[in-house]
Amino acid sequence: MSEQAFDDPVWHHGKALRKGYTTGSCATAAAKVAALMVLRQHLIHQVSIVTPSGVTLRLNVENPHIEGMQGVAAIRKDGGDDVDATHGMLIFARVTLTDDGAIMLHGGPGIGTVTRKGIGLAPGEAAINRTPRQTIEAAVREVIGPTRGAQVEIFAPEGEARAKKTYNGRLGIQGGISILGTTGIVTPMSEESWKRSLALELEQKRANGLERVILVPGNHGERFVREQLGCCGEQVVTMSNFVGYMIEEAVRLGFRQIVLVGHPGKLIKIAAGIFHTHSHIADARMETLVAHLALLGAPYALLLAVSECDTTEAAAEHIEAAGFSHLFPHLAQRICLRIEEMLRFTHTPPQCDAIMFSFDNKVLGSNRPVAAITAALQC
């Protein structure tokens, strides 16, 4: 994606919508410029970074400060026309150069702390997601070179107050916001136009001769397919929350095999017949787990423990400890049954498969052996 592509608006119903950038991009830019200021020993008022999606951003620096081997800088979050709870707030980085060669990243005031398992970060860690961690460390390393080290602290003075307007509390993230973003760019887009853009990718792959497709909720699923299943990314298409729509589009285009790969937090909903998985539509994850555990004869104590969990990752720990890990293959089969029911009037329905994985990249369950599912995929 070129710099001009970032500047181009997204059009919806005749209205130009402006793109923005994530808290992860803000933290990366702030850390980079803070490190630069320490090395050069003068204030810098604009910095450029390349986002994970390849977009170059030139961002204004606010509150720059240098004191010896320490630099502080802030970038103001701009969500474009996709305004959220963090829009307009300052994301700071404090970088202190060291001689030990290591880059150590910390969360300061206003950055949430993870208190429960289930979101891909260990309890006690700052709520700075994996991609921003990588981009922050890479940006600082680029500046300071291979031999120096740095202590990097990301902080946000408004973070604790702003976090009250997010879902962080429900996810066990306390005390502040999360530093997020897998592409670095925020693209405002209506649901219909977003669905259409996803379907266009399906059409392109079918036009290129692919007959089998892997549908994933997002980047974690794509990474799992590539790194753990050993498949190339050519068959992977993001379905976001639009499970039913994307399956119907894949059927319309004549794909012979549809494989759903994702974390249970999304896929479990399909076992309950929910084909739009955004939480504002429906969220029956724990109810679905409890119902199917009961069908498998689980004891009441396990049902109660699972019902009180906030995340499927946390529930999975109780399920595994109680010896009911066979629930996940059972649910994968149920997901495929629900899809088959949805497609019951299709003349030539595709082979449907489902694979669920945990945040530590382990297969939790599939409707049939994973090797059998992936054997026919065109890599």
Which two three-digit tokens encode residue 318?
Answer: 């109780």
CATH topology of domain 191-375: Beta-carbonic Anhydrase; Chain A (3.40.1050)
**Segment (H or E) for 4:** helix 3-7
The CA distance from 342 to 35, in Å, is: 55
Residue 40's pLDDT is: 96
Are 362 and 195 within 8 A, CB to CB? no
How does DSSP classify residue 148?
Answer: -
Asked if pLDDT for residue 163 goes beyond 50, the answer is yes
Residue 268, amino acid: I
Are 178 and 119 within 8 A, CB to CB? no
For residue 338, CA distances in Å to 239, 261, 268 come to: 17, 15, 11
Nearest to 136 by CA among 23, 223, 55: 23
The CA distance from 89 to 78, in Å, is: 8
Kindly report the average pLDDT of the chain as a whole number: 90
Asked if pLDDT for residue 13 goes beyond 70, the answer is no
The CA distance from 23 to 74, in Å, is: 11
Nearest to 75 by CA among 43, 134, 120, 30: 30
Range in 62-71, 83-92, 322-331 with the lowest mean pLDDT: 83-92
Nearest to 191 by CA among 74, 97, 123, 281: 281
Per CATH, the architecture of 3-186 is what? 2-Layer Sandwich (3.30)
Residue 56, amino acid: T
Mean pLDDT, range 228-246, rounded to an integer: 90
Are 203 and 238 within 8 A, CB to CB? no
The CA distance from 358 to 216, in Å, is: 14
Asked if pLDDT for residue 176 goes beyond 90, the answer is yes
Q: How many residues would you count in the chain?
A: 379
Asked if pLDDT for residue 132 goes beyond 90, the answer is yes
pLDDT digits (tens, 9 = 90+) for 18-50: 888 999 999 999 999 999 999 999 999 999 999
Are 121 and 114 within 8 A, CB to CB? yes
pLDDT digits (tens, 9 = 90+) for 187-200: 765 566 578 778 88
Q: Locate the domains of the chain by residue range.
A: 3-186, 191-375
Q: If you search the block for the tokens 């029956």, which residue do you land on?
A: 284
Are 260 and 355 within 8 A, CB to CB? yes
Mean pLDDT, range 203-217, rounded to an integer: 90
- Show the CA angle centred on residue 190, arms to residues 342 and 56, nearest 5°: 120
Checking DSSP bridges between strand 236-238 and strand 212-216, what pairing results, if any?
parallel
Q: What is the DSSP string of 245-267?
A: HHHHHHHHTT-SEEEEEE-HHHH
Q: If you search the block for the tokens 């306390």, which residue do you land on?
A: 174
